[in-house]
Structure 1
Amino acid sequence: MKLFLVCTVFLLVSCQNSQKNNQANVVNDITTINLDEAIKNCVSQLEIAVPKLTDLTKHPRLIETDQTEWEEVPNHRLKWTSGFYPGILWYMYNLTKDKKWKQEAIKRTEVFEDFKTITEHHDIGFMMFPAYGNGFELGDKKEYKEILLTSAASLASRFNPNVGTIKSWSNELHPRWQQHITIIDNMLNLELLFWAAKNGGDSNYKNIAIKHAETTMENHFRDDFTSWHVLEYDSISGKVLNRHTKQGYADDSRWSRGQAWGIYGYTMVYRETGDKKFLDFAQKLTDAYLNYLPDDYIPHWDFDVPNLDNEERDASAGAIAASALLELSTFLEDKNSKEKYYNAAVKMLSSLSSDKYSAVGKADSFLLHSTGAKSLGWEIDVALIYADYYYIEALNRLKKMRD
């Protein structure tokens, strides 16, 4: 009888512990994603799209609403999106080790070599690093080194020490602003400078990147850690003249992709510097971003636009943030924070890979429902090449973490 009672108590305790463990697992892994299936879908989408994209003088930019094939735009020194398609191909090669993707990536990358001398705008980082940087790192194309170093020198030439940032855009193309312009997107171009400083370029490139990040951190964010899009500085004194937007709803509204750029940028700056102030700031930006997300974690194109529930989503912002949060989670020692950001990223990817946002069976892209610049009447509820780029980057990061 005593033995029976002991066994009964043991079984009850074991069941209770099992239930607690199961509950803990639910909390720690609130959302799942079939990673292999998501990657397989990207492979199948590229196999559909690549045979159609044969003109090397153009690159895919968007798929309009209710269309199925990529709209290509001419390769041009002002087309900031040109590097994302070859970057996608490099990530696909990294995920599959299929040499056909490497050969396609090489072909699509090397048409942009002349862009290494761009000094008329800041987007040379976006244009060259996804293509040549990924080729160097993932494709072992060490001959790309000098092209990347020249590109970094071109970018660094736009740094204004009076202001402390790299100038964005050109005043001729954006006449609303007459002096030194800096946009939040510019944070991502800093990765090219950090890379160059580590790989034989001028060591001052790292100092320029850090100063840009510090100046942006000081001036570009509200008290609630949300971002403005465009700042105009006095070119001589460095004083902030205006805080505006180009692609958000209003000058003082919270443009969701801008916030995602900030999260990604400061996470990357922490990776490159190890300076904890950038890690802390990336967390603050992330917490602000997460507070504004709808249930599926894919933001509307602006958090402050009226009639929010009826407004378009921006899957590109979701993909950028997902990729950033996966990396951010790897830098944190606190278990709760690590799980919080990791689970948020997985939830974003789970939504992006779902039928609601996936383009499988509908169009040639990976994702649908991105919004480039609704305030300007551009790219509203479309597929965007950079949404696909950061989505496959996030899948690549998740696979590496799980492996």
Structure 2
Amino acid sequence: MRENKLLFLIIISLMLSCMNTSPNKEKIFQKQYLESATKQLSGLLKIAEKENRNPRTVQKNGEIHWTKKSFDWTEGFFPGSCWYLYEFTNDAKWKNAAEKFQAQFEDHKNLTTNHDLGFIFNSSYGNGFRLTKDEAFKQVMITAADSLLSRFNPVVGCIKSWDTEKGWQSKRNWKFPVIIDNMMNLELLFEVSKLTGNSKYKNAAIMHANTTLKNHFRDDNSSYHVIDYDPETGAVRSKQTAQGFADESSWARGQAWGLYGFTVCYRYTQDSIYLNQAKKIANYILNYPGTPKDGIPYWDYNAPNIPNEPRDVSAATVTVSALLELDKYAQESYRLNIDKIISALSSEKYTAKLGENNNFILKHSVGSIPHNNEIDVPLNYADYYYIEALLRYESL
């Protein structure tokens, strides 16, 4: 009897010991993952500096595809990754690289023809200002926010995503398309409002978030990709997709954009409506019955040939980074899902070996299958949000 009791106490002691050391072990792993990411991107940096161009992905012929000098919605992510690695290593080479590569598109702060200025300038100049307090970076952010704000329509209550006069968008009969991705541009407006004390940026961001909350989500808390509005009345004209499988399907990265965007809205406003929406989206993503056990989703939750469909690692990186922030605000804990996704992303299945994958960190992302573009390739924004997630975990 006494032996059984002693055995029981030993077992309980071992269990408690494991529980107490597990978080520390996880943090050790995250640091190792960051160190590996630093080594891998060092190789990409050497190539980028030689070419003096911003890397985006890998082409079908195996060569690096560089961002367009005229404009590319992904151009902020590589310098953003450099800023994050500077934050992690305190090595000036990453700071110098970030400054060099973001300077290549600084003039794009004046563009009023696209909604992606938040993506571009918050990931690059935003991180740069956060880490250096360089006033010149701050001014770039303000100018970019003003350009972004020029696309805001108070009747609709949203920032227009795409112009529809030319290109493939002109064939869709849209008047004022708003995509769920646009939630990611609000962080720049919130941050500039905080930096300047001018509420016009924050007010527009709140109106956009509220309109999106009203019209973009289905009863199961999945999101449409594109809502087209009448710019004169604000009425919804149609609910469609551009990068998903079908209008009524759930495009995986779109769900991640929504989760991240509403979590950011809560950070800046402390309005529980945004926290509740983020939790609802997280619940949809994490409990979707068709998602593989490792938590890396197929490119669309309703893709027709599952399980023979490409996974989208970029959707997983955005999701896990958002969950790490949401975990700080919600009463629910997302740590088990966070650990699962990061462990999967950091495995050999999704993380490239040193020197392979053209020195991008992660494999198996999807840009846009309907456009037959960037399918099962590395993407600079998958690497960016992966590094961001690891840094967020490191700071827990």
Instruction: Please give the TM-score of this superposition, normalised by the length of structure 1.
Output: 0.91
Q: Does 1:277 align with 2:273?
A: yes
1:8-23 equivalences under 5 Å are 8=3, 11-18=6-13, 21=16
Residue number among 353, 359, 372 corresponding to 1:377 in the alignment: 372
Residue number among 233, 236, 239 corresponding to 2:235 in the alignment: 239
Q: Partner letter of residue 59 of structure 1?
A: N
Residue number among 237, 254, 258 corresponding to 1:258 in the alignment: 254
Question: 1:76: Cα distance to partner?
Answer: 1.9
* Structure 1 Cα separation of the partners of residues 40 and 61 of structure 2: 17
Is the deviation greater in 291-300 or in 206-215? Answer: 291-300
Q: Partner letter of residue 313 of structure 1?
A: R
Per-residue CA deviations over 1:38-77 (Å, capped at 9, x if unaligned) read: 111111112211111136763211113673x532132223
1:50-129 equivalences under 5 Å are 50-54=45-49, 58-64=53-59, 67=62, 69-77=63-71, 79-129=72-122
Alignment-derived partner of residue 149 in structure 2: 156
* Structure 1 Cα separation of the partners of residues 376 and 60 of structure 2: 6
Q: Which runs of 5+ in 1 are unaligned?
A: none
Per-residue CA deviations over 1:280-322 (Å, capped at 9, x if unaligned) read: 1100000001122211100010010112111000000000001
Residue number among 185, 189, 192 corresponding to 1:193 in the alignment: 189
How many positions carry a matched residue from both structures?
A: 389
Verify the 8 A CA contact 1:229 1:244 in the aligned structure 2. yes
Residue number among 306, 311, 324 corresponding to 2:322 in the alignment: 324
Verify the 8 A CA contact 2:113 2:163 in the aligned structure 1. yes
Q: Which runs of 5+ in 2 are unaligned?
A: none
Residue number among 181, 199, 202 corresponding to 1:203 in the alignment: 199
Question: 1:30: Cα distance to partner?
Answer: 12
Verify the 8 A CA contact 2:67 2:74 in the aligned structure 1. no
* Structure 1 Cα separation of the partners of residues 247 and 28 of structure 2: 37
* Structure 2 Cα separation of the partners of residues 226 and 31 of structure 1: 31
Verify the 8 A CA contact 2:74 2:380 in the aligned structure 1. yes
Return the index of the structure with the highest Cα Rg: 1
Q: Partner letter of residue 106 of structure 2?
A: E
Question: 1:37: Cα distance to partner?
Answer: 1.9
Verify the 8 A CA contact 1:28 1:343 in the aligned structure 2. no
* Structure 2 Cα separation of the partners of residues 23 and 49 of structure 1: 38
Verify the 8 A CA contact 1:31 1:347 in the aligned structure 2. no
Question: 1:36: Cα distance to partner?
Answer: 2.1
Is the deviation greater in 50-59 or in 129-138? Answer: 50-59
Q: Partner letter of residue 116 of structure 2?
A: D
Alignment-derived partner of residue 49 in structure 1: 44
Instruction: Please give the TM-score of this superposition, normalised by the length of structure 2.
Output: 0.93
Q: Does 1:315 align with 2:325?
A: no
Verify the 8 A CA contact 1:65 1:381 in the aligned structure 2. no
Tell me the secondary structure at the aligned position of residue 34 of structure 1. helix
Alignment-derived partner of residue 338 in structure 2: 345
Is the deviation greater in 164-173 or in 184-193? Answer: 164-173
* Structure 1 Cα separation of the partners of residues 280 and 17 of structure 2: 31
Question: 1:127: Cα distance to partner?
Answer: 1.3
Residue number among 212, 219, 229 corresponding to 1:216 in the alignment: 212
Question: 1:266: Cα distance to partner?
Answer: 0.4
Tell me the secondary structure at the aligned position of residue 381 of structure 1. strand
Verify the 8 A CA contact 1:83 1:131 in the aligned structure 2. yes
Tell me the secondary structure at the aligned position of residue 231 of structure 1. strand
Question: 1:343: Cα distance to partner?
Answer: 2.0
Question: 1:260: Cα distance to partner?
Answer: 0.3
Question: 1:167: Cα distance to partner?
Answer: 0.5
Tell me the secondary structure at the aligned position of residue 105 of structure 2. helix
Question: 1:203: Cα distance to partner?
Answer: 1.3
Per-residue CA deviations over 1:112-157 (Å, capped at 9, x if unaligned) read: 2211111111011111111100000023323211111111111111
* Structure 2 Cα separation of the partners of residues 142 and 342 of structure 1: 37
* Structure 1 Cα separation of the partners of residues 74 and 99 of structure 2: 17
Per-residue CA deviations over 1:331-384 (Å, capped at 9, x if unaligned) read: 12x3xx12xx12212211111110000122421101000011012111110011
Verify the 8 A CA contact 2:27 2:393 in the aligned structure 1. no
Dislocated runs of 4+, deviation >3 Å: 7-10, 19-33, 55-58
Tell me the secondary structure at the aligned position of residue 376 of structure 1. coil
Verify the 8 A CA contact 2:117 2:144 in the aligned structure 1. yes
Residues 30 and 219 from structure 1, CA distance in 2 versus in 1: closer, same or farther, beyond 3 angstroms? farther
Q: Does 1:286 align with 2:282?
A: yes
Residues 245 and 27 from structure 1, CA distance in 2 versus in 1: closer, same or farther, beyond 3 angstroms? farther
Q: Partner letter of residue 307 of structure 2?
A: D
* Structure 2 Cα separation of the partners of residues 342 and 384 of structure 1: 26
Per-residue CA deviations over 1:190-236 (Å, capped at 9, x if unaligned) read: 00000010001531110110110011011001100001111101111
Verify the 8 A CA contact 1:91 1:138 in the aligned structure 2. no
Per-residue CA deviations over 1:77-99 (Å, capped at 9, x if unaligned) read: 3x101100100000000011111
Q: Partner letter of residue 386 of structure 1?
A: Y
RMSD of aligned alpha carbons = 2.2
* Structure 2 Cα separation of the partners of residues 61 and 253 of structure 1: 27
Q: Partner letter of residue 75 of structure 1?
A: K
Verify the 8 A CA contact 1:35 1:399 in the aligned structure 2. yes
Q: Partner letter of residue 323 of structure 2?
A: L
